Structure 1
């Protein structure tokens, strides 16, 4: 009889799950094991069913073969209506294996979270196609049966079927929104008709849809996921559950997309709650035990007895997996027989290292590959002894199944060593080969609990008699195939090395002095993790931790200072001698320690074992640094790394023994706080005591539950959200929820910090910031901020002072949240608090100012202003000037000065620099520009600018002086406000004057002239000038601004007084050029109208320092062209004869004098009397301009 006749593998493990195919097969979940991960997710689902705002869209993420699809199939059957084929089996499995979860979901009768109607499962298996098409097919396939026997299908289901058919014809014909809305209406009908609680939509292999969506973003339909996730929140009671399954994180699928597209995908991902789906090793052990089935036979009894004995031996060796009780382990080992317990533990580790978890496990159990479990079961039963599948058998299977795959990636070197050792021992007995394989396999999978290649574990794992093991072990040692590593109590394969690590350690011991204190060495070589005050952190929402530091007698006093970011200090004192111990106890009870509530001190009686471990670590590090040959010796490097890891682990264990109350410290370690000895017997006592210290040190810590910003340092995303929130606080403080739309990250910060605490609340017809209300502890913080503002009345104080105050006891706020609370308080006192940066007043506080303030709070100062005496009357008149309500009792100086500064800052640059204004306006402008203090500006600088004495805080009211001051101030401000408009008006007048037009219709007349000239202008600047002159769309101000910009080459707003003068000169030049071209164009046009096309048209102009300019447009008629040509030739010859050809200046001067004579005659003969036409009054020959 073969073993396979008595031992089988459950059928459900023999093939992979396909969600759509196996949904109709109830037996597909027969034998399903509800694992720890599955139970936890079911518990989360149960909570969401009763939470009105709970998560109802999840992503199960886990590696290949981790059982996600099997769980999805089980979940679909579990939540289906009680009449469904697989529901009864699914519920019975849960009730038997996880009764508490069963009660959570189905207990309570009519009030059960999942009623007998259940959910209609809609199941989708991923494929490389658009998700929308698969969704439509699945909806129509899985919803239609609910209406097959009774009831009329809702119109929405028929709509879905119509969408499905239309989508098959044309993918663009169907809207995602329409599909989701139709599905929502079907869910509503299911609830109202009582046919089902709702819909459970499961999308397996979602990654295939995401990969398709990444490749084809046009038709990938990825955003339908977002709409589906959002739809789950519509129903109360819960009617729509969405579960998706991925093999890797969502963002990995979008890694190669454009940043903007990745951001959009991230928004989709944000609608889902991620749930990790990977079983712990002990759960995989239980899965194997549930997969192996035994028949009834006396041989099976013997096999189970052997397995029981092996399990008990494994427990003695410390191989009991974490999370399993002894009884559970023994029972599981029985069910796993004939697999040896060590082989099962190694298989679990191998499946996670090299394969696909459960899929690898069950491939091992079911495959017919050589050396596999199914092949092992083909052997005949031996009545004399029970067979056992050992580590060496498992090695043979792995080497065969993975082949070259074990030679790459993680652990490749280890596998190569095993093969090398087997090659060297090829002629050795089977026992020695089995031992080599066992050592190699345990080394390859890595230490897990007590699963390491120690001599005891190996003797147990190879399942051979003790003498045979000792013989094989001794032979391998003698042949240098294995080596014992005493530092780690393990046996390892010997790869060969030229470096003797032991000799190098002896050399290090000779060279490295032991003079440095133990505490100093531990601080240098060891970095213990901080301890968190968990209860206090949970209660307040503010993470608090204690930094750990080591000290001794010499450094005790210096070591009491708490590190910057930490909330407290746990000081571990290391005595060198008994005398040191007694002295440290005295110091721990001294006055200096009693002043520091945030320090907890621990003093062990002896630290010899720790001293030895630290010394060994020191020596090993010296060997690593001072042995150059290590670079070329991989074996020695690996041995050194192994030793370092072992000694570091030993140090951790020793520190745990000394300073963990649950360790072996007992009464050997004394604890002190505030100079008083404390009894701390357990780790829980220590954790609670740390929280109690935090409560003492930080009694005014508010309850702020927002992990995004309630921390010391913010992520980039959190910092951006905080910035957006502060920006909205400044700009939209009067709006509900600060004007936020949707659910950006900053809305969660707003809700927890500003809305929940009533800091931002309704007031009148809008919203405002004010003192918090409620018992969340923020009132004390707000009071502290107000006290700080009060201190700012007498003198300015740095913002850093306030930030430091809020971080110190009793508040202990974190820097991530302080700027938000500070901004709220500053806005609540906006009319009183003035900001200064580097000593200069900041008239308008924007989010950019806060950016700088958060980066460098030491550069910013605050001052609070109150108005008294005659200054109140000054304030009242200033309020009237700016149209604000105010009275003699007002004390809000800043609220008046901000509009004044805003008025000045918004003036054009021209107005700020021009001197073409009155002396008073100039003086006021300079006072506003140079002032650094609002108080001095209003009551001293501005009065002096108006020629009035400053107003002191104690003097009486003098009405005449006040009236003179405000009369002059008002007039000067109006002058400043009008200065730029006056400039534009003057520029326009100069333009009209240049064209000899009065105001009236001057612009239209200039436009007409320019329109006729644009096409004849060649010079770029003149052409641009003409183009702008003909513009009839812009208003007067914009038109003259554009013209002036072309004339000077700079916008008038940016002009200086020099630019204003340059405008007048340049305008005259441009207008002259305009007229010259205009004259030529007119003459040519006039002759063409008469049918006489001229041969040449020339404009001639001559000027000298004694007479007016003479100019004329002369025309050469066609009949005179011959004479014209002869005259040109003769004149040229004459100039040659007179030897003027080589002197162009003299030649031109002679020609100009002759031209001047003829121009005068032409003028005297009256041939220049003709007008161009009305609107173009331009002479052919002009004197002067």
Structure 2
């Protein structure tokens, strides 16, 4: 096309900011507009300010007009301004864009007070050394700290000149004669002019007759800067230096023709010094239009390698962002012959006008003025179609991360590039977006396999492979769809009908035919509810058939209301104004309801008590238009304040589409069905999204007040609500009407129905502190934890707790009326339980319900209960299922969670009861255990009685004395005892008293004494009966059991030793009798354990007889065996000087003994004559000896 001249490409655009002159221009600093590119670079630079960072050398690359200098100006202001307040507007802009970067700014500049000295270098024709030295001097002078400038050989030369002038006039005259203009010479030295300095060194040699001026050898610029940084840190509030070389590209352009070896080394040394600077911070930022390589790629290899080494030491960052500037670049690249193009646009004005109209309607360039769209987008970027102009930079950014591929598309001769596809002949020709797909396809393909771009390309390719190559329009349709998805800019570019028409540029008929063909072939899906076209990977299964089948199967199984509840469940409406006033969160819950259900509810207050919400907003589901008038009349009869009703004024049928949606969801959850085809899930998901949007749109038409199709009812009246914000105000009004007595507690962490686990733990700590009642400041709690916060907000700030540095105490009268009302209700409830049990659910409902207009959150209730329960602790009893529980903080928490399971009882007190309690407590005082927990006295008594019972031995517990004793013991055996009931009701009733009485204590004392003494009575009886066994009429009646046993032993001791027939048990009995204990209780204990293997404390009522009988039998057996060992009917045999006794008494063998006897006989028979009789006898006797 002859109107284009591709050889003319603009190099860049100038920008108005001048860093050196605008550094303190706060107006320009404030005008900085953060972009994503700028924010990202700023974040990285701020991170480099941490002392351990090594990332302190950068080169920023971007074409003219990209805002590089403006960014640098803002950066230097952040780094250097001592007064930060003027920068706050910039802070806010950055905060809006990126909170993380803002937090870094606050941390580094506001909290750590980091401040760096800006050193600004601008191209001035000087060499790099001069530029760096002059720039740092100017920076120090700007801050009035020029004395920190280290002494250089330039300064030394100047000092020598002034020394000659003041001390050696002849030498100075020679100097003036040689340089002609002394002042200019000194000025050039002050400007660090190296040629002037070299001239001075030559003059010095001549003037001083061969002397050599060389005070510093050479200046190492990197070391020079490091020295300044150290001085800055020591003597100022600067933490280092930040070097910015603006227009570094100009230096590169001008230095390539010079011998730059020294300057390359300076750059390398500076970069290395920056990297290693640590806490002595030194940074450098070079600003260039292009990379170093782009400027140096034509240099000889030696220089090219040197510059590549420099480039490698700097982190390269690209600075390209604003779309308008990119469009200008595109326009500049597409340079056109002005005269020819004016004629061309005039000749094709109708086409341009039509394209302008469609472009405006597309909203792709809604931020542009119409004239800019015409001049820049349509004509400046021609022959690109406006949509292609819009997509080109965004595609390049997506797949290449910079705009260099824009230039390759516009200016190279690659396949599918602009050069390749434009016809050579003149004429009106527009490049549509599908051509961009062809050019960038390789980029899409090489994207990471699991990336979104690659996924979109693959899905598009699957469809394109099914479409004929010559079907250009259909293929272009799919390519444009893919590009829209890849660009992913839904606020600007969406795949709706009108956009697709604009992108394709075909007739309406061709477009409709193409669209329908793609839909029918299930290559795309049109989501009508949101006007969106999507590429699908369709399956071979007839989805519509399966949806219809499921719909009919489930039609009778689930109602429309349940479908709405399952898939479009209601949300919550907060009472925002009420919540602000009362420092809490109240809300109404949305629910669906049918007219039939409305008629079935008789008590709406019960309905509202069944939820954690403070009320309901019911969306009425209509089944026909005929219901509307009837429902209106019925709603007038419902006066419950905590329910609102939404009645649509028009019937909209959503049942069919709702059931279809439910069927799609059902199929999506059916793994067996989904697994039949790889594309089923994605296709069904599109169906689901489409149906969801359509249903949601219908529901909004039905229940959104802005649609004007809705009437609200509350308290039997229609109320005017026309927008969403009014609903919250109405809910607030209702809450104020119903819950005006709710205390204001400024702690939303606890002022809620379900506090978190951490807050519950803190609440328990507070309750423990209340129950311990130490009177210490803050109830004895310390620190800054949630428990202390609860004490401050719930108790101290409300006036419930008076807290000083010395003490804390509860003074409820100081609290406001709403809080006092809560305590009065709790008191009244407790007193109403006087001499009768009441369920705790009544109290919790009073506090949390609306009957008293309180509606307190359950998170707060335990504190109020704890204060009052502790106050009445000695009078109240808490029980559940007849079992009384200790009044503890944990119990209060359980009561709060499940109040319906607990009852409260308050004992009515009088002098008689107190005396009864005092005497009963005194009776069991020895069994009391001290504790920090304070219990009612009757509970302390029952605990002591139980400890007494548990201290009894087994005999005392089991021995029957009387029915009354059995009752007392059996009552105390139970682990969970209702203390109040036992002390005040059961004991008096059992022992025949109408009420508690001191005489009852005497009866209990008598029973206690009988039970305590029963064991000692047993021992006495045992002693007497054993004595009777060993008694002889010749003995003195005063003889003790010990004496009797000793006498008995003395009578047998000479005889029993020769008796081999005594068993081990009998011998042990004799050993006890040999040395009987003088402690007869101990003696009986030994005999009991020896005879019965049982201690006396473990006896029962039958054990005594058993014990006496055993002792008697043992005594008799011993005496009989001793006697038999001495008489003639004992068989005594003497063999091998051994005396062996055989008891000839008949012994009845057990079954096992018989088996052993038979076995031995069989064994002897088996050996027969192989073992003679003498050997057999010997064997038997040897075996027998082991058992004697």
Q: Normalising by structure 1, what TM-score?
A: 0.53
Specify the alignment match of 1:587 in structure 2.
634
Contact 1:575 1:581 in 2 (8 A): yes
Specify the alignment match of 1:635 in structure 2.
679
Specify the alignment match of 1:864 in structure 2.
906
Deviation of the 1:796 alpha carbon: 0.8
Inter-CA distance 589–379: structure 2 relative to 1 (3 Å threshold): same
Inter-CA distance 449–939: structure 2 relative to 1 (3 Å threshold): same
Inter-CA distance 629–588: structure 2 relative to 1 (3 Å threshold): same
Deviation of the 1:681 alpha carbon: 1.7
1:121 aligns with 2:168: no
Q: Choose from 679, 685, 707 the match for 1:664.
A: 707
Deviation of the 1:291 alpha carbon: 8.5
* Counterparts of residues 122-141 of structure 1 (less than 5 Å): none
Distance 1:340 1:734 in 2: 83
Distance 2:107 2:720 in 1: 49
1:575 aligns with 2:612: no
Contact 2:591 2:617 in 1 (8 A): yes
Distance 1:74 1:1129 in 2: 126
Deviation of the 1:835 alpha carbon: 1.1
Distance 1:585 1:643 in 2: 37
CA deviation map 1:869-904 (0-9, x unaligned): 6334435666888999xxxxxxx9973213223433
* Counterparts of residues 908-919 of structure 1 (less than 5 Å): 909-911=950-952, 915=956
* Counterparts of residues 564-713 of structure 1 (less than 5 Å): 564-590=611-637, 593-594=638-639, 596-608=640-652, 610-611=654-655, 613-614=657-658, 616-617=660-661, 620=664, 631-661=675-705, 663-665=706-708, 668-713=709-754
Deviation of the 1:567 alpha carbon: 1.9
Contact 2:9 2:335 in 1 (8 A): no
Contact 2:523 2:535 in 1 (8 A): yes
Specify the alignment match of 1:82 in structure 2.
81
Contact 1:530 1:545 in 2 (8 A): yes
Distance 2:37 2:828 in 1: 52
Deviation of the 1:682 alpha carbon: 1.7
Secondary structure at the counterpart of residue 546 of structure 1: strand
Distance 1:610 1:490 in 2: 21
Distance 1:799 1:294 in 2: 77
Contact 1:877 1:966 in 2 (8 A): yes
Secondary structure at the counterpart of residue 741 of structure 2: coil
Contact 1:792 1:862 in 2 (8 A): yes
1:365 aligns with 2:402: yes
Inter-CA distance 122–832: structure 2 relative to 1 (3 Å threshold): farther
Deviation of the 1:581 alpha carbon: 1.0
Secondary structure at the counterpart of residue 121 of structure 1: coil
1:439 aligns with 2:481: yes
- Give unmatched runs, 5+ long, in structure 2: 1-5, 18-25, 43-70, 117-142, 149-231, 241-318, 339-344, 346-350, 927-932, 1020-1039, 1044-1067, 1069-1081, 1111-1116, 1126-1133, 1143-1170
Secondary structure at the counterpart of residue 686 of structure 1: helix
Deviation of the 1:602 alpha carbon: 1.6
Pairs aligned (count): 816
Contact 2:769 2:779 in 1 (8 A): yes
Specify the alignment match of 2:312 in structure 1.
none
Deviation of the 1:697 alpha carbon: 2.5
* Counterparts of residues 320-719 of structure 1 (less than 5 Å): 364-365=401-402, 393=436, 400=443, 403-405=446-448, 407-408=449-450, 414-424=456-466, 427-428=469-470, 433-443=475-485, 448=490, 451-461=493-503, 470=511, 473=514, 477=518, 480=521, 482-483=523-524, 485=526, 487-488=528-529, 489-493=531-535, 495-502=537-544, 519=561, 522-523=564-565, 525-558=567-600, 561-562=607-608, 563-590=610-637, 593-594=638-639, 596-608=640-652, 610-611=654-655, 613-614=657-658, 616-617=660-661, 620=664, 631-661=675-705, 663-665=706-708, 668-719=709-760
1:831 aligns with 2:874: yes
Deviation of the 1:589 alpha carbon: 0.9
Distance 2:526 2:691 in 1: 12
Deviation of the 1:685 alpha carbon: 1.0
Distance 1:536 1:38 in 2: 44
Contact 2:646 2:713 in 1 (8 A): yes
* Counterparts of residues 840-879 of structure 1 (less than 5 Å): 840-842=883-885, 844-846=886-888, 849-850=891-892, 853=895, 856-868=898-910, 870-875=912-917
Distance 1:731 1:1103 in 2: 68
Specify the alignment match of 1:805 in structure 2.
846
Deviation of the 1:600 alpha carbon: 0.7
Contact 1:484 1:491 in 2 (8 A): yes
Secondary structure at the counterpart of residue 877 of structure 2: strand
Distance 1:978 1:293 in 2: 110
Q: Choose from 782, 798, 822 the match for 1:781.
A: 822
Specify the alignment match of 1:818 in structure 2.
861
Inter-CA distance 777–386: structure 2 relative to 1 (3 Å threshold): farther
Deviates more, 1:599-608 or 1:733-742: 733-742
Contact 2:619 2:646 in 1 (8 A): yes
Deviates more, 1:290-299 or 1:548-557: 290-299
Deviation of the 1:646 alpha carbon: 1.6
Inter-CA distance 976–511: structure 2 relative to 1 (3 Å threshold): closer
Contact 1:9 1:366 in 2 (8 A): no
Q: Which has the larger radius of gyration?
A: 2
Secondary structure at the counterpart of residue 707 of structure 2: coil
CA deviation map 1:120-157 (0-9, x unaligned): 2399xxxxxxxxxxxxxxxxxxxxxx9x9999xxxxxx
Deviates more, 1:805-814 or 1:377-386: 377-386
Secondary structure at the counterpart of residue 830 of structure 1: coil
Deviation of the 1:752 alpha carbon: 3.4
Secondary structure at the counterpart of residue 788 of structure 1: helix
Contact 2:953 2:1098 in 1 (8 A): no
Specify the alignment match of 2:298 in structure 1.
none
CA RMSD of aligned residues (A): 7.2
Contact 1:865 1:893 in 2 (8 A): no
Deviation of the 1:644 alpha carbon: 2.0
Contact 1:9 1:365 in 2 (8 A): no
Distance 2:8 2:1103 in 1: 109
Contact 1:630 1:636 in 2 (8 A): yes
Contact 1:523 1:550 in 2 (8 A): yes
Contact 2:713 2:719 in 1 (8 A): yes
Deviation of the 1:319 alpha carbon: 7.7
* Counterparts of residues 159-308 of structure 1 (less than 5 Å): 288-289=322-323
Deviation of the 1:605 alpha carbon: 1.5
Inter-CA distance 531–910: structure 2 relative to 1 (3 Å threshold): same
Inter-CA distance 376–326: structure 2 relative to 1 (3 Å threshold): farther
Contact 1:536 1:695 in 2 (8 A): yes
Contact 1:414 1:443 in 2 (8 A): yes
Distance 1:35 1:827 in 2: 63
Contact 2:496 2:532 in 1 (8 A): yes
Contact 2:519 2:526 in 1 (8 A): no
Distance 2:831 2:673 in 1: 69
Distance 1:902 1:616 in 2: 68
Inter-CA distance 774–738: structure 2 relative to 1 (3 Å threshold): closer
Deviation of the 1:648 alpha carbon: 1.6
Contact 1:770 1:828 in 2 (8 A): no
Deviates more, 1:467-476 or 1:743-752: 467-476
Deviation of the 1:738 alpha carbon: 4.6
